[in-house]
Amino acid sequence: MEKRIAKINISSAGGTAAKGAKTCKVTLPTSWMNELGIGEECRDVELSFDGKQIVISRHLTGEEFAVQKILDGHDVRLLRFYDGDKLCTVIYADFTDKTLTTENHVDDPVKTAFGNNALPTWVDFQAFLEERCVPRQRAGLREYLETIGVSEYDPLEIIQKTAGRMAEDHQWLEMEVLK
């Protein structure tokens, strides 16, 4: 592992930032960026902060994410979220390490799976799946589950049977297991 010492450039934020706001920047070695596949054509990165360290990684496309996870032997599912016949969001979900990445195909956040949330977590994904199902507290839930052929309340299994269709909208899901 190569290490370097760098200085953070701290300056006034400017623009519409609050009075006294600052911005922080660091210059990274071009050789490191090249090795990560980051350059003029591909500049998107993900920043992670755990309270002690910052990690910078290249933002993978959904397909790159899926290929990497499948090569690692993970259970990866592809979910396509539609509004009517319009594809709105593609979700690549790794059920092994409980991570995901998404690609939105519409600009209207109301039509996307996670709204303005560009980096949803596994908890966000689970909540989204449950939103596309009959509520857990619904009267007659047991009969409903029996009717659709599901033995217990499992949002993923319910969505496989119902495509996540709800009476109050035209949104639905299709799912496939990637190999």
User: Residue 81 pLDDT more than 90?
Assistant: yes
DSSP sequence for 36-82: HT-SSS---EEEEE-SS-EEEEEPPPHHHHHHHHHHTT--EEEEEEE
Compute the distance between CA of residue 148 and CA of residue 153 in angstroms, rounded to an integer.
11
pLDDT number for residue 68: 95
154 contacts 81 by C-beta, under 8 angstroms? no
- pLDDT tens figures, 136-177: 999 999 999 999 999 999 999 999 999 999 988 999 999 999
| Whole-structure pTM value | 0.82
Of the pLDDT bands very low, low, confident and very high (cuts 50, 70, 90), residue 127 is: very high
Mean pLDDT of 29-45: 91
